Amino acid sequence: MREPFTGEESVTKDNTDKRLEALSQWAGRALRTGSVLRLRKLAGDAGFRRYFRAGTEPPLVAVDSPPERTNPARFVAIADYLRRYGIHTPMVVAADVERGFMLLEDLGDKQLLGQLNDDSVETLYAEMLSELLCLQQIPPAENLLPCYSRELLLMEMRILPEWLANRLLGYSLDTAEEQLLEQTFALLLDSACEQPKVLVHRDYHSRNLMVRDGERPGVLDFQDAVWGPVTYDLASLLRDCYIRWPRERVEHWALTYAATAEAAGVLEPVQPGTFLRWFDWMGLQRHIKVLGLFPRLYLRDGKPGYLPDLPLVIRYTLEVSDRYPELRPFADWFRERLLPLVERQEWYRDYRSAGNR
């Protein structure tokens, strides 16, 4: 997840800190400039890394990635691995993984999200889906890409009752409600685990993809990549938490991608109905996670900027769970128990129109 872009902010003596000062000094030494680099803060991601544009030519991005909270060595390793197969992740110009400092290639400011409209979407999504196919053709790397296991997928969904229901809304589930959620989660896990496994970016969406005119897209926020279900990144892109498209278009894109993936040998032949169920249920697993993750970012990490995006996530969640009889009890529970509490939040807007343009 990446924060909404809010522009650059000059870093001066008044708003700096010791790590930032050390990063500026390190970057200057790494580039042999003979001086401390002037840095400007950029929008970050949902983790603990901070990003700064350096006043260099060509422009670079300096990254503060505290090693006690992040894994800069893994970031560098996965960036290099993906670039080896043609994916345009930012080139790592310099890195001190022990201190958590990096200098990266600057891929610009043209986030996919800001470029999408009714006229551009077909062309841009074709580019991003082509890049996704390239990602999914990358072979597994021993000791680099962990399995997106059933246990990890389940742990992600359990963020919802803890952080949305309990901590944000003050709602405690009784035993029957806990059982309902666990039964729903088990259905989604069964669907995820029966899918073919490929490289999964885990946040392949419009805030992490950069449009680069005449070149392949830039791919950001890749450091949590795993080996997992084939529809995960597809659902992340086409059921994006930050922009919505009509169901008919989304399903057309999804099935077109399935046919392309079959032709490329990424996917064995599968019935369209089965693939769409995989896609729907994988997206629902992700959105259930996000319904807990965004409140956690606010309550634990002091990042309220994601809360206004929750109504669209709620819309996705209810649209999909309404569509399948096995999932409808979950939709009914959410509407009856949580939605009235969500509607009292100051950031809330009617989920039924969320994402409409």
Residue 270 lies in a domain: yes
**Rounded alpha-carbon distances, angstroms, from residue 347 to 271, 334, 350:** 41, 18, 10
Residue 3 lies in a domain: no
Report which of residues 109 and 131 the model is more confident about.
131
Residues 158 and 130 reside in one and the same domain? yes
- CA dist., res. 56 & res. 36, Å (int): 11
Q: Which of 105, 128, 160 is a domain's end point?
A: 105
pLDDT at 4 over 70: no
Residues 71 and 149 reside in one and the same domain? no
- CA dist., res. 238 & res. 251, Å (int): 9
CB 336 within 8 A of CB 296: no
pLDDT for position 11: 43
Q: What is this structure's pTM?
A: 0.93
Residues 299 and 347 reside in one and the same domain? yes
Residues 41 and 165 reside in one and the same domain? no
CB 48 within 8 A of CB 19: no
Which tens digits make up the pLDDT trace of 66-105?
999 889 999 999 999 999 999 999 999 999 999 999 999 9
What residues form DSSP beta bridges with 45? 2
Mean predicted lDDT score pLDDT of the chain: 93
pLDDT at 132 over 60: yes
pLDDT for position 55: 79
Two structure tokens written together for 305: 């900027």
Residues 87 and 149 reside in one and the same domain? no
Residues 216 and 345 reside in one and the same domain? yes
Where do runs of H (alpha helix) occur along 158-240? 159, 175-193, 232-238
The boundaries of the domain holding residue 253 are 112-353
Query: What does residue 311 show for φ and ψ, rounded to 5 degrees?
Result: -55, -40
Which tens digits make up the pLDDT trace of 241-256?
999 999 999 999 999 9
In this prediction, residues 258-277 reach a mean pLDDT of: 98
Q: Which of 179, 163, 160, 172 is nearest to 286 (CA)?
A: 160
pLDDT for position 46: 58
Residues 86 and 155 reside in one and the same domain? no
Q: Which of 94, 291, 107 is nearest to 207 (CA)?
A: 107
Two structure tokens written together for 153: 């997928």
CB 133 within 8 A of CB 246: no
Residue 317 lies in a domain: yes
Q: Residue 241 is part of a domain; what is its CATH number?
A: 3.90.1200.10
